[in-house]
Amino acid sequence: AQKITQTQPGMFVQEKEAVTLDCTYDTSDPSYGLFWYKQPSSGEMIFLIYQGSYDQQNATEGRYSLNFQKARKSANLVISASQLGDSAMYFCAMRERTSGSRLTFGEGTQLTVNP
């Protein structure tokens, strides 16, 4: 079974608008962390935001926020005020306590920001 599911292969948004990228996960481990990475066409994976399973509040980092709904096992990324430079591939990933050093990635969402 897929541990991380990103159901949107591609998303389009107008510049300056907000966009939500979906991510659902599957784990029975009570201790886990959720990550979002951005990968521009240049290839480098850029860390955006982190949410721990025991965190009470949703994580925020500048224009990025994570809508964490633990009971629904979802960790959607919200990008506010989209910019042209936000066009990239976005990956959701999870590390479980029982998986040690391993990070499990979703298949990614290709975001295109239109002017």
Partner 1 sequence: DAMVIQNPRYQVTQFGKPVTLSCSQTLNHNVMYWYQQKSSQAPKLLFHYYDKDFNNEADTPDNFQSRRPNTSFCFLDIRSPGLGDAAMYLCATRIQAGVGETQYFGPGTRLLVL
CA distance readout (Å), 4 to 8, 17, 49, 66, 105 = 12, 26, 16, 15, 6
**2 counts as binding partner 1 under rule CB under 8 A:** no
SS3 85: helix
Pick between residue 28 and residue 44 the one whose CB is nearest to partner 1: 44
**95 counts as binding partner 1 under rule CB under 8 A:** yes
Let me know: does 49 contact 34? Beta carbons within 8 Å: no
**101 counts as binding partner 1 under rule CB under 8 A:** yes
- 41-80 mask for partner 1 (x: CB under 8 A)? -xxxxxx--x-xx---------------------------
